[in-house]
Amino acid sequence: MSIRLRDNRKTEAIRSSVRETELNVSDFIYPLFIEEADDVKKEIVSMPGIFRYSLNRINEELDEVVALGINAVILFGIPLKKDAEGSESWNDNGIIQKAIRYIKTNYPSLKVIADVCFCEYTDHGHCGVLCDNDVDNDLTLINLRKQTLAQAKAGVDMVAPSGMMDFAVREMRDELDKNGFEHIPIMGYSVKYCSSYYGPFRDAADSAPSFGDRRTYQMDPANRNEALKEAQTDLDEGAEILMVKPALSYLDIIRDLKNNFDTPIAAYNVSGEYSMIKAAGNNGWIDEQKVMLETLLSIKRAGADIIITYHAKEAAKQLKKEIRE
């Protein structure tokens, strides 16, 4: 007897009934860039369709996010003042703390996640305190505690350390717990590679390093087994969610984490991945909407339960359109 596998592909009704992976709006987290300024809505040249907003105009974006059914945002701040340690990141009246309070007051249904790092806040663009032109891990942890506590006091729902400092999750979990914020979960940037796909983000957040690169603290793209060690460490230190960043060049790593850990897996569909699709779409080389959905589906199929993506609004519109049709 021969099996005709095409029989399950004859019609959309049949295909949908045997489909193994479904993409849903609830899978998405939408990144927001909030600038400490007045009356700003500024498109990021290298990320068409993505804007930096001042706090007094962020409602223009949030109204649409909520209407589309996207239930979570992750915040990145661009402060007015920067210094060597990134001290504005733990200022109770800093831009992200203000944004957290504003969103929780005016959009209570949204889950607010805050990036916990220093590259947007330091005048040198690196992810912590510098000593001899390299980031000092343990001095940075001291400031990481301060930033985490400031965000918790502002009312954040979840914190996400992106600096790849050793023991970051442990220190943050301890700071949260001892100050009565045991309920705030940590999404670790557990497996964050030193990637060339981050370029447009650095335009968006004014976070490009003023010298060198971040290979002494972010992972080597050649390494796979090390990813499991990094993820296990974050889990042991108290992370509730493990993340892989970037997504597309590391789908094998997403699957490795999914196979090895019984905990939610997030993937960050980063700025370079977004901008390549936008550039090809704008030039008419691809069907942008179809490629976008196929890309996001590949990330979920690889094992991601949560996808942080700049495509979130467009994808939500397309998914709703498919349901209507």
User: Residues near 109 by Cβ (< 8 Å), separated by ≥ 6?
Assistant: 66, 71
**Per the domain annotation, does 10 fall within a domain?**
no
Alpha-carbon distance 323 to 325, whole Å?
Answer: 5
In terms of residue numbers, what domain contains 92?
A: 23-324
* Amino acid 323: pLDDT: 64
Alpha-carbon distance 96 to 98, whole Å?
Answer: 5
**Per the domain annotation, does 18 fall within a domain?**
no
* Amino acid 300: pLDDT: 98
Of 101, 105, 102, residue with least CA distance to 150: 101
* Amino acid 200: pLDDT: 87
Tell me how crowded residue 290 is: count the other CB atoms within 10 A of its CB. Answer: 11
Report the number of distinct structural domains present in the chain: 1
Residue of 245, 258, 278, 300 marked active site = 245
**Per the domain annotation, does 279 fall within a domain?**
yes
Q: Which CATH number goes with the domain that contains 61?
A: 3.20.20.70
**Per the domain annotation, does 12 fall within a domain?**
no
Alpha-carbon distance 36 to 99, whole Å?
Answer: 10
Tokens describing residue 52: 């930096």
Reply yes or no on whether 245 is catalytic.
Answer: yes
**Per the domain annotation, does 4 fall within a domain?**
no
Per-residue pLDDT of the chain (325 residues; tens, 9 = 90+): 788 888 788 887 878 788 778 999 999 999 999 999 999 999 999 999 999 999 999 999 999 999 999 999 999 999 989 887 888 889 999 999 999 999 999 999 999 999 998 888 887 777 777 778 788 888 889 999 999 999 999 999 999 998 888 999 999 999 999 999 999 999 999 999 999 999 887 676 565 665 556 677 789 999 999 999 999 999 999 999 999 999 999 999 999 999 999 999 999 999 999 999 999 999 999 999 999 999 999 999 999 999 999 999 999 999 988 766 5
Of 197, 128, 132, 133, residue with least CA distance to 165: 128
Three-class DSSP category at 225: helix
**Per the domain annotation, does 8 fall within a domain?**
no
Query: Nearest 5°: phi and psi at 66?
Result: -65, -45
**Per the domain annotation, does 6 fall within a domain?**
no
Reply yes or no on whether 320 is catalytic.
Answer: no
**Per the domain annotation, does 61 fall within a domain?**
yes
* Amino acid 321: pLDDT: 80
Alpha-carbon distance 31 to 47, whole Å?
Answer: 12
By the 10 Å C-beta count (0-12 exposed, 13-18 middle, 19+ buried), 153 is classed as: middle
Longest dimension (CA), the chain: 73
Residue of 192, 278, 300, 313 marked active site = 192
By the 10 Å C-beta count (0-12 exposed, 13-18 middle, 19+ buried), 261 is classed as: middle
Residue written as token pair 């663009």? 125
Q: Do 151 and 121 meet the contact criterion of CB atoms below 8 Å apart?
A: no
Separate counts of helices (H) and strands (E) for the chain: 11, 12
Alpha-carbon distance 161 to 237, whole Å?
Answer: 13
> Across the strands, what pairs with 265?
242
* Amino acid 205: pLDDT: 58
